[in-house]
Chain A
Amino acid sequence: MVIWEVASRLSTVPTFMFPGVLQVLETLFNGIINGQITGAIFQSIGRLLVGFTIAVIVGLILGYLIWRYKLVDDTLGFLVVALQSIPSIVWLPLAIVWFGLGETAILFVVTIGATWTMTMNTTSGFKNVPTLYQRVARTYGSSGFHLLRTVIIPASIPQIISGLRLAWAFSWRALMAGELLGAGGGLGHLLETGRSLGQMDLVISVMIIIAIIGTIMDNVVFTRLEKNVQKKWGLS
């Protein structure tokens, strides 16, 4: 930080392109107080939650179908692997044509990016449920939906959580890219605003916020959840 501040003061690049630490912190602080950054945060998180939730639900359902039906596995299962390898932002042009450049297009990209990972993790979680658990349940008379609810789903929780974590990361990246290119506010859009106004202090402030949110979700929420679950499930 000190090096950053000193480098900024000494460098020949004008300060609006390479602002110092203090200036960035000031902008960050003001942005949070006057609502410019705070508003963008809420807008982005809101979108993310909607897209992420849809992706998780769709992923769980598709994952279940692929696990349950051989035919679906042979067709859709294969397709999902292919779709999953497409970076989500690649969907944006299509989304813009289908929905216009707006809220729906961004939501679409956010959702689609996370859906395939979620699907794949759900399928593999279901497929890897130890035979022993299923045998135990069946000797006690469980079958069908009861078996799914009391054994298959709980036994796949560790994999499903890994899926959630990946899905979150995918949709977070897709969201930023989508907002940067599309219209409609949010942190990504604020970045774009900062760039066009030549306010690098704003750009860096937003980047800091993005990094903080990403780290909190990944390290605090998901990693902790994953660790607890793995311990309880006897996986580590």
Chain B
Amino acid sequence: MYLTLDGVEKKFQSNTNNEVKVLDDISFEVEKGQFVSIVGPSGCGKSTLLYLVSGLEKASKGKIEISGEQVTKPGPDRVVVFQEDGLFPWLNVLDNVTYGLLLKKMPKKEAEAKATEMLKLVHLSNYADSYPHQLSGGMKHRVAIARALVMDPDILLMDEPFAALDEQTRMALHNELLEIWRKTKVTVLFVTHNIREAVLLSQKIIVMATRPGKIKATYHVQTTQDGYTPDSVTLDLEQKILATLEEEMEKVLKEELGDDYNFKKSDIHRDTNGDMGSGI
């Protein structure tokens, strides 16, 4: 097995010095070159899970191994496309995209040629000299995606990379991503809120439960991925996942309404917005 998570647990120190368990007993395996999606309610620890695999955060318990080697620190073989674009505002688009390449000691000429090529792929070749503040939100996200893809990573960790994009661009990028995935055999861990996106792109879908984040179900997608044509199989799967998630959402809502109900009874002077949605 290529990427293995075994009994991974993550706790965070909360401000009251208590420990909050965000992820509990996460175990799954990913084959080399597999495209795996992770879906789950907001706040269930999807981003945290990606950070653990990337090495940016350390697991409190359990093991994360890549080709048998334990992950201890971040490395350019595992690149993250963050939920927010995270472009450096002091660098122009081209310099943002070459940042990682130059760190790999690639000659500047070669890095720039590669970056330009990648920018063409995300339809931003005319903006190489622009600065991030001159781009729209969706454009910034595409630069961030280009910056990650240009690295030719072994594992691509994507945190809702297409959430900020319009439908057309999203579909175009789905295709590009699948193309690149097929060409480079990169292993993809793809977090999304969009069930259809998960079903259309991936071979395996992990559905997470929340508080603490756990694996609720795993689905395998049978059809060949082409990124845009739903058929009866995928539609059926979509429904199944939706049903699983709805259970989970109900749980979240119940908990939250419970909170709401309690505080209304105990303290009517509190700001009505007080705790609502704190876990969303």
Contact = CB atoms under 8 A, between A and B. Distances in A.
A231 B82 contact: no
A139 B78 CA distance: 7
Contacts of B100: 140-141
A135 B79 contact: no
Contact of A141 (B74, B88, B90, B132): B74
A42 B104 CA distance: 49
A139 B88 contact: no
B34 interface: no
Contacts of B99: 137, 140, 150
Given A138-B56, A138-B74, A140-B99, A232 B89 contact: yes
Contacts of B132: 234
Contacts of B54: 139
A132 B84 CA distance: 8
A135 B131 CA distance: 20
A16 interface: no
Interface in B93-107: 99-100, 103-104
B151 A133 contact: no
Interface stretch (A46-54, A151-159, A210-218): A151-159
Contacts of B8: none
Contact of A151 (B75, B78, B84, B88): B88
Contacts of B89: 232-234
Interface string A118-154: 0000000000000011011111111000100011001
Given A139-B79, A141-B74, A146 B103 contact: yes
A136 B159 CA distance: 13
Nearest to A130: B86
- For the residues of A in contact with B, the DSSP-based class is helix
Given A140-B79, A141-B75, A231-B133, A135 B104 contact: no
B90 A136 contact: no
Contacts of A232: 89-90, 131, 133
Instruction: Determine which residue in A132, A136, A142, A233 has the highest number of CB atoms from chain B within 10 A of its CB, and name it.
Output: A136
A142 B56 contact: no
Contact of A139 (B56, B90, B131, B133): B56
Contact of B103 (A141, A155, A231): A141
A233 B90 contact: yes
Contacts of A137: 99
B104 A136 contact: no
Nearest to B100: A140
28 contacts: A132-B86, A133-B86, A135-B56, A135-B86, A136-B80, A136-B82, A139-B54, A139-B75, A139-B76, A139-B78, A139-B79, A140-B100, A140-B103, A140-B151, A141-B75, A141-B100, A141-B103, A142-B103, A150-B99, A154-B90, A155-B88, A157-B90, A231-B133, A232-B89, A232-B90, A232-B131, A233-B89, A234-B89
